[in-house]
Amino acid sequence: MSQMEKKRLPVRLLARAFRNELDEKDRAELESWMKEPGNRDLYAEAWRFWDDVQGRASEYDPDGVELWERFRRKVSRRRKSAGVIRMAAAVAAAVLVILAGVLCLSQAGQREPDIVAVKSMSGKSGTVLPDGTVVWLNSASSIKYDNASFGRRDRAVTLDGEAYFNVAKDLKKEFTVSAGGLSVRVTGTSFNVKESGRTVVVSLAEGSVELSSPSGDGLSLVPGEKAVFDRCSGKLSVIPGNVSCDICWARESLNFKSRPIGEICRYLSVWYGVPIRTVPSLEDEYAYTFTVTDEPLEEILVIMGRINPIEYEVADGVYTIRELR
């Protein structure tokens, strides 16, 4: 077997990975392949290509030649070796395998999914799924699920944006959230998922969750832990952070009791969905006790400024808190 054959991309394995259909054997095989030099970069290239194409698959019949040519030109500009170009062909082929499978199912007269979409256009909104799971959607976020199968054959939802889930317990049917290529699996727990740009962040409040990426990486979280998935590199890891702050936006109110201004501003930043910064000298200077429900941010900051000598300014959407001049 030549070196090129050893490094050739596992086309059908990649197709299953992108559709979250890997079993334990598949994951081990893909993980082994990812460890070979250069393969993680090829995987990231393949994911970016698939992520770009999949959103268009429902709008038109994909032109296989056009897709391949576009991808070949993209890779050729970056790497000139014949070996990489040949592996790029395998990448494009894997994407086409997925798209072809979708088209074949459609042409075979399979049942059209009864897709239910729940969106939060401005501000946060709550909804209850058919199984009793409570979901809070942050502003401009949405979830989708197949109403014909949800609660019967599965409990699977797809997230775009940020949501907090309080999952109804069902030991026979695990609850699955797909967000940006990351799969989150639980039977009953409370957690937050934020899909934004190239990352997906999962923060666990209660229970336990299992995470798995398209590359086969996986890990479990315990309450108080958070994980980040980088969609471009395929890396999945546990990171430090304040889970309570991450999920505070989904509460009915924020309650502070003798908390320092720096900590309060971090919570307010999540609650209102805007960046709020305090100058370093103010981080632990003043403490406040108050409750926030639906008051405008500016009103809260003005009241804080009446209690202690501080002021705020807004530039490029960023709020900065400093000592009163």
Tens of pLDDT along the chain (325 residues) come to 334 334 455 667 777 666 656 676 777 787 777 777 777 767 766 766 665 555 554 444 444 445 545 555 554 454 444 445 455 555 555 555 555 554 444 444 455 668 899 998 778 888 889 888 999 999 989 999 998 889 888 999 999 999 999 999 888 889 999 999 999 999 889 999 999 888 999 999 999 999 999 888 899 999 999 999 999 888 999 998 899 999 999 998 999 999 999 999 999 999 999 999 999 999 998 999 999 998 999 999 999 999 999 999 999 999 999 998 7
Contacts of 8 (CB under 8 A, 6+ apart): 86, 87, 90
Look up residue 197 and give its DSSP letter: T
Task: Please tell me the predicted confidence (pLDDT) of residue 250.
Answer: 92
What pLDDT sits at residue 304?
94
Task: Name the pairing type of β-strands 175-179 and 155-160.
Answer: parallel
pLDDT of residue 61: 43
User: According to the model, what pLDDT value does residue 90 have?
Assistant: 53
User: Do 34 and 5 form a contact (C-beta atoms < 8 A)?
Assistant: no
pLDDT at 82: 46
Calpha distance 267→142 (Å, rounded): 23
Burial class (CB in 10 A: 0-12, 13-18, 19+), 145: buried
CA nearest to 300, candidates 250, 122, 291: 291
Residues 20, 214: contact at Cβ < 8 Å?
yes
pTM listed for this prediction: 0.65
Secondary structure of residue 155 in the 3-state scheme: strand
Alpha carbon separation from 211 to 81, 108, 222 (Å, rounded): 36, 33, 12
Q: How far apart are the first and last CA of the chain?
A: 74
Q: What pLDDT, on a 0 to 100 scale, did the predictor assign at position 192?
A: 96
Contact call for residues 307 and 288 (beta carbons, < 8 A): yes
- Map residue 295 onto helix, strand or coil: coil
Where do the DSSP E strands lie in 111-150? 115-120, 125-128, 134-137, 141-146
29 contacts: CB under 8 Å, gap ≥ 6: 10, 13
Cβ atoms 124, 39 nearer than 8 A:
no
Q: What residues contact residue 80 under an 8 Å CB cut-off, 6+ apart?
A: none
pLDDT at 62: 44
DSSP characters over 159-181: EESEEEEEPPP-TTS-EEEEETT
Structure tokens at 220: 């479990």
